[in-house]
Amino acid sequence: MKVNTKKFFTLIFTLVLTINLIIPVSASETLSDNAIPNEIITEINKSLNYISTQKDIFGLTDVDFGTLSVGNQIKAYEYRDKQLKEAEFSLFPIINNERLVAFAVKNNEKTSIEITTTFVKDIASSFNPSTPIAFIYDKDTCYIYSSSGLTEMHRSSQSNNGRDVLDYNTVDKSLFDSITLNNLSSNEFLNYESSVNLMAENTYSVNIAATTYYSCNVSYVSQAPDSYYCWASSVACIGNYLKGKSYTGEYVAQQVFGSNYNQQVPQEKALKALKDIYDVSYTSNNYVPSDNTILGSIKSGRPLFSGWWATWYGGHATVICGINIIAGYITIMNPQSGFQSATSNGTTYTYTSITNNLVYELERYGN
């Protein structure tokens, strides 16, 4: 029997295509490839413009902002009431030559965007850019979820009692079927230079952003995961900058408490340690500093000790080391995660922590 070769291969191709089309796809693997909203791109470029004079402390010294692109929204979820519920913020990966270099953090209640490099190195070394992921937060831990399961990124020293403990070994895996995963690949170019030029026409010159931004070039001083001595790392950051030392937060805490040093302290006691260890005198103030206060302190070469508060969590100490006086924007050295930006809500400054999915408000300071 003579076979029509053309028809035969057409039939085979049709069968293969049909089989591929009916293979089920898990909901958790659904990828979103929508265009990034223009307002998001504008806000990302604004924030990049604000940190352009501090690229070195953000670890972006060799990154040309003009070549940056942004990836699809990375969703965040929190585990409470035995369900995964969408968090109040999301992340947009900032990509340079297909390499993750930063995250733009978008809180649902704010139009402004914060820039952070938290987790960037760990994620870049652990996940292929094409791997779809989402952030998940339980009572005290930040995870990244992918098809391989949960990867622990950070465990906090204090619990969020509004969330449950997520045990991946015992939880029903169908829990993850409804969440959205996206990869870290670029979606579209930011067109940073064109955007900045447009801002210059409509608001202010990019050169003004540099001349109205003041900073102290402090060094990062970390605190160990699941530790309480953020105050000591903040003291070390300020003291090292002013006195040319290289003490760690652990060292400062040990000078105060000895071997049992993993403890919290009020702001007054932290500033006493600054005096005792570094011979640097700071005054404790239990109210939010004005922009003029922040500016005056930084211009005089004195980074500010800063106390923040988050509901469900409590207090946290950082160092305010930069301010843009026309943009409602400050840079903080966060012992928990590195350098990041915080933005004004008209009353105080706030930032969203991607280590624990909490919004922190500035409450007090020392300078």
Q: Percent of the chain at pLDDT above 90?
A: 68
Q: What is the mean pLDDT of residues 297-318?
A: 93
Q: Are 138 and 78 in contact (CB under 8 A)?
A: yes
Nearest CA to 116 among 353, 357, 356?
353
pLDDT at 33: 55
Q: Are 312 and 161 in contact (CB under 8 A)?
A: yes
Integer Cα distance of 329 and 325 in angstroms: 7
Integer Cα distance of 29 and 27 in angstroms: 5
Residue 5 has pLDDT above 50, yes or no: no
Torsion angle of C-alpha atoms 165, 168, 172, 177, degrees rounded to 10: 100
Residue 53 has pLDDT above 80, yes or no: yes
Integer Cα distance of 297 and 304 in angstroms: 7
pLDDT at 112: 84
Structure tokens at 40: 């998001």
SS3 302: coil
Residue with tokens 């260890």: 277
More confident residue, 52 or 240: 240
Question: CA 168: distance to chain centroid?
Answer: 25
SS3 164: coil
CA distances from 272 to 144, 266, 269 (A): 39, 10, 5
CA distances from 14 to 2, 5, 10, 21, 335 (A): 21, 14, 6, 11, 58
Integer Cα distance of 89 and 76 in angstroms: 7
Residue 285 has pLDDT above 90, yes or no: yes
Integer Cα distance of 134 and 91 in angstroms: 10
User: pLDDT class for 52, splitting at 50, 70, 90?
Assistant: confident
- Count CA within 13 A, CB hemisphere, residue 61: 3
pLDDT, tens digit (0-9, with 9 covering 90-100), for 69-124: 999 999 999 999 999 999 999 899 999 998 999 999 998 887 889 999 999 999 99
CB atoms within 10 A of CB 18: 9
- Tell me the domain boundaries of the chain: 38-189, 213-366
Dihedral sign, CA of 20, 21, 25, 31?
A: positive
Please give the CATH number for the structural domain made up of 213-366.
3.90.70.10
Is the overall model pTM greater than 0.85, yes or no? no
Structure tokens at 204: 């202010």
Superfamily of domain 38-189 in the CATH hierarchy: Staphopain proregion domain (3.10.500.10)
Please name the amino acid found at residue 233: S
Q: What is the mean pLDDT of residues 234-260?
A: 98
User: pLDDT class for 187, splitting at 50, 70, 90?
Assistant: confident
Per-position DSSP letters for 180-227, written without gaps between them: --B-SSEEEE--HHHHHHHHHHHT--HHHHHHTEEE--PPP----TT-
